[in-house]
Amino acid sequence: MPATDYQGSFLGRISIRRNQVMSMEGNHEQELEDLELFQKHVADRFADLLPPQPSDETHADPLLSISWLRKLLDAFLCCEAEFKAILIMGRETSQILKPPLDRLIPELLERTVKALDICNAITNGIESVRHYQKLAEIAVTALENKPIGDGQIKRARRALNSLVTAMTTEDKDGNNYTRTWSFGRRGAASGNNKVTGQLRSLSWSVSRNWSAARQIHALTTNLVAPRGGESSSLASTVYVMSTVMLFVMWAMVAAIPCQERGGLATHFPVPKQLAWAQSMIVLHEKIGEEWKKKEKKGSAGLLDEMQKMEKLGQSLIDFTDNFQFPAEDERVEEVATQVAELAETCRKMQDGLVPLQLQIREVFHRMVRSRTEIHDLLESNGKLSAPMV
């Protein structure tokens, strides 16, 4: 069953349950069933994100490509909707005010605040990627000219050198990042805007000491798998959602340039025996291996399109540095193939980056709404005294 179908079925079922009166025993059995279904849906969604096996002939989206990241965010939005339904719908408020939920839910709310900061940083990072795209497009335009002359070579070389330099030094100097938050103004936040120009910046400053790596580490604070009876209760549901949030934010930070990612943790604090987490653990290991290579090399991120752009850029720089007119036909054909690949990569960025940015914005606002609803529910019962952040 497609993700949207079983999500709708799941949410509809909980909505029906909201008006039912059950015995405590029946309610517990229903809760166990909801938890099992939620965990199954999480497992299925992340299994769909696994890279294909070498023998698999399907054309799956490359790991950490723009299209893959969009599927990742879709999975997060589906999980988040189901989690909120389990937590709030068809439930007496008193049930989420008892230990250990009286501690776990406020911790989740604080974790959400940190995730919101990461969404903002990722949006700024996408602006860096758009800058790389523009530099690559300049080089493509110059090298597509026939015949290639010294003027085109010089223009392409300048653009390619700027591209590769920016991509290889971005992480080394946090000052390279524009320190503004980039979500829509409050009046337009709820609109269904699809135009780039409507993504107006809020433009408030962030600290020079803000670190994406530290923020990811902070998401792991108090993230401990429930034991004993808690493993089959709402406490487990909160843990699953917290883990999904951690993985999604970590993967986005690894893929997209962000302020201060040095030392980004590659340890995933999730027990390997948990069935619903198996695909997530495999994905984390694969991305973590690539991140370790990336840190040694010093490139700007693991986004698949950026990796291709950097590789092609280095090769084309070698061509422009050693260019002599007239160029050999064989070499010209080879370069034409690489230029076509770079143009295709730019096209994918052109088509995908704005929708990705809008999707991150949707994740941001969804988390804000959910946090507000849960916070207000707790506050109305006098169980939460901390002000909203």
Residue 203 counted as domain residue = yes
pLDDT value at residue 237 = 94
pLDDT value at residue 88 = 86
pLDDT value at residue 195 = 36
Phi, psi of 234 (to 5 degrees): -60, -30
pLDDT value at residue 310 = 94
Burial pattern 1-39, b for ≥16 Cβ within 10 A else e, equals eebeebbeebbebbeebeeeeeeeeebeebbeebbebbb
Range of the domain at 311: 3-15+26-48+63-380
Residue 55 counted as domain residue = no
Burial of 309 (C-beta count, 10 Å sphere; 0-12/13-18/19+): buried
Residue 199 counted as domain residue = yes
Report the distance separating Cα 171 and Cα 257, nearest Å: 7
Q: How crowded is residue 181: how many other Cβ atoms within 10 Å of its Cβ? A: 18
pLDDT value at residue 228 = 81
Assigned token pair, 215: 């923020």
SS3 content of the chain, % helix, strand, coil (to 5): 70, 0, 30
Residue-wise DSSP of 167-202: HHHGGG-GGGS-----PPPGGGTTS----GGG----
Q: How many domains does the chain have?
A: 1
Report the distance separating Cα 184 and Cα 361, nearest Å: 8
Per-residue pLDDT of the chain (389 residues; tens, 9 = 90+): 455 555 556 665 555 554 454 444 446 788 888 899 999 999 999 999 999 876 666 678 999 999 999 999 999 999 999 999 999 876 777 778 888 999 999 999 999 999 999 999 999 999 999 999 999 999 999 999 888 888 999 999 999 999 999 988 765 544 444 443 333 333 333 333 333 343 333 334 457 789 999 999 999 999 999 988 776 788 999 999 999 999 999 999 999 998 888 888 778 989 999 999 999 999 999 999 999 888 766 667 899 999 999 999 999 999 999 888 776 777 888 999 999 999 999 999 999 999 999 999 999 999 999 999 998 888 876 655 444 44
Residue 53 counted as domain residue = no
Residue 245 counted as domain residue = yes
Report the distance separating Cα 343 and Cα 352, nearest Å: 14
User: 123's torsion region: left (phi>0), alpha (psi -120 to 50) or beta?
Assistant: alpha
Residue 96 counted as domain residue = yes
Residue 273 counted as domain residue = yes
Q: Which residues contact 382 (CB under 8 A, 6 or more apart)?
A: none
What secondary structure letter does DSSP report for 63? T
In this prediction the pTM is 0.86
Q: Tell the residue number behind the tokens 């909203």, with chain if given.
A: 388
Burial of 115 (C-beta count, 10 Å sphere; 0-12/13-18/19+): buried
Q: Which residue, 163, 203, 153, is CA-closest to 300? A: 163
Long-range contacts of 228-236 (CB under 8 A, 24+ apart): 230/100, 232/32, 232/35, 233/31, 233/35, 234/31, 234/35, 234/86, 234/87, 234/95, 234/96, 234/101, 235/100, 235/101, 235/104, 236/35
Residue 183 counted as domain residue = yes
